Amino acid sequence: MEQFIIRGGNPLAGEVEISGAKNAALGILAASVMTEDTVLITNLPDVRDINVMLEAMTEIGVKVERITRHDVMITSSRISDVSIDYEFIKKIRASYYLLGALLGRFKKAEVPLPGGCDIGSRPIDLHLKGFKALGATVNIRNGSICAEADQLRGCHIYLDTVSVGATINIMMAASMAEGRTIIENCAREPHVVDVANFLNSMGANIRGAGTDVIRIRGVEKLHSTEYSIIPDQIEAGTFMFAAAVTRGDVMVRNVIPKHLEATSAKLIEIGCQVEEFDSAVRVAATGRLTGTNVKTLPYPGYPTDMQPQIGVALSLATGTSIVTESIFENRFKYLDELARMGGIAKVEGNTAIITGVEGFTGARVSAPDLRAGAALVIAGLAAEGITIVDDIRYIQRGYEAFDEKLRSLGAEIRLIDSVREAQKFNFRVV
């Protein structure tokens, strides 16, 4: 089982290049099956979730040609099956995007129910409500969602909760429905906009993505396109916090600073310097960070996917901080791991009360999920001594070459296969 071993204490310095956004890429890959023409997608991150999604697509007859590590050609002219295997859904929930995509194009799709996950119960009732409103019959049979329609018809949908997944899934199906669809109370996340832009580049007619009302005029056919995925705002934010907690100075390149505003604002509030450029942000910190309060919200609020990273920073800050998680109920597990490194926090319901400490000491910890795992790595970078992070398969789901990128900034981190290997480990930085 692979692990990261880290010797903390080095302030990170230098430049780091951000990869394409995983969550945008998952939606875009699914949407690429909506045309029989060949589609070229560039700036794809080379991470595990993306590779699983490509496998799920290959399994139903999609031709996937990897041109380079980050560019892929997709041809979906010979789809043989519209049902997705449980193995894929188990590995990545987002393969449920194939439900909206296949339903839009073939008016039929079958995807296993994803169930809960490490960060809490994650219902998909809104996705299904949307498909039904478009005229599909939706049944749960033998653990799978079967959606089917003779014809999808445009409609007016109001989403009770702001949901990224439901917005994208319904938007995809509605792109190939007859007539006009209006989706209200939509998610406004950058990746919703990216999927809409991608669909429009294939000939869809979607207006308003990025606001809370999306208007779609259905089209009969979509066509070939070439499309480059936006930079990953969460990967970028993670490196920004890594700079902050190590009291470093890092230029984070290939980003859209506008997408990082909530993160930048919090970093400034806790005492960092943040400088914005056209496609880069520089984060520098010198002294101890200052505590604050933060609440996760849908975009443009502070992202839930950046909650563990700020939790680590606040654990090292002065005073007491309150973190409120308003999106997912089970996202504080990393605080128990952080306690092994000296962190002090008390969790009550969806709130964590964090008492800042002067420093962490290295310990063996385990990544509870993707973002929490990344946060524990940055805690290790700030800690005195050696930290070993177990279960890094979670981190590898969403961060491309995480250890390599951190090493290029002066971090002492290695990927190892066993603790025994750690014992003979030499921390020379390459």
Residues that bind ligand UD1 (CB under 6 A): 23, 26, 94, 122-127, 161, 163-166, 187, 191, 304-305, 327-328
Least distance in Å: CB of 307 to ligand UD1? Answer: 9
Least distance in Å: CB of 279 to ligand UD1? Answer: 22
Least distance in Å: CB of 426 to ligand UD1? Answer: 36
**Active-site annotation holds for 117:** yes
Residue type, 404: E
**Active-site option among 117, 155, 186, 272:** 117
What residue ranges in 326-411 does DSSP mark as E strands? 344-348, 351-355, 364-366, 386-390
Least distance in Å: CB of 133 to ligand UD1? Answer: 13
Q: Count H helices, E strands: the chain?
A: 15, 23
> How many whole angstroms separate alpha carbon 350 and alpha carbon 347?
7
Cβ closest to ligand UD1, residue 298 vs residue 342:
298
> How many whole angstroms separate alpha carbon 307 and alpha carbon 390?
20
> How many whole angstroms separate alpha carbon 303 and alpha carbon 23?
13
Cβ closest to ligand UD1, residue 45 vs residue 248:
45
Least distance in Å: CB of 126 to ligand UD1? Answer: 3
Residue type, 73: M
- What does DSSP assign to residue 14? E
Cβ closest to ligand UD1, residue 378 vs residue 382:
378
Residue nearest to ligand UD1 (CB): 165
The secondary element (H helix, E strand) that includes residue 396 is: helix 393-396
Q: What is the DSSP string of 282-303?
A: EEE--S--B--EEEB-STTSB-
> How many whole angstroms separate alpha carbon 376 and alpha carbon 388?
10
Cβ closest to ligand UD1, residue 7 vs residue 331:
331
The secondary element (H helix, E strand) that includes residue 275 is: strand 273-276
Least distance in Å: CB of 312 to ligand UD1? Answer: 17
Cβ closest to ligand UD1, residue 113 vs residue 219:
113
Cβ closest to ligand UD1, residue 129 vs residue 180:
129
> How many whole angstroms separate alpha carbon 330 and alpha carbon 372?
11
End-to-end CA distance of the chain: 23
Q: Which residue has the tokens 């990967």?
A: 235
What residue ranges in 35-125 does DSSP mark as E strands? 38-42, 63-66, 72-75, 108-112
Cβ closest to ligand UD1, residue 166 vs residue 222:
166
Least distance in Å: CB of 191 to ligand UD1? Answer: 6
Are 106 and 79 spatial neighbours (Cβ–Cβ below 8 Å)?
yes
Least distance in Å: CB of 164 to ligand UD1? Answer: 4
- Token code pair at residue 92: 């990545």
Give one word for 59, left, alpha or beta, with left for phi > 0 and alpha for psi -120 to 50: alpha
Q: Which residues contact 37 (CB under 8 A, 6 or more apart)?
A: 75, 77, 222, 223, 224
Cβ closest to ligand UD1, residue 161 vs residue 211:
161
Are 251 and 15 spatial neighbours (Cβ–Cβ below 8 Å)?
yes
- Token code pair at residue 326: 């308003």
Q: CA 280: distance to chain centroid? A: 20
**Catalytically annotated residues:** 117
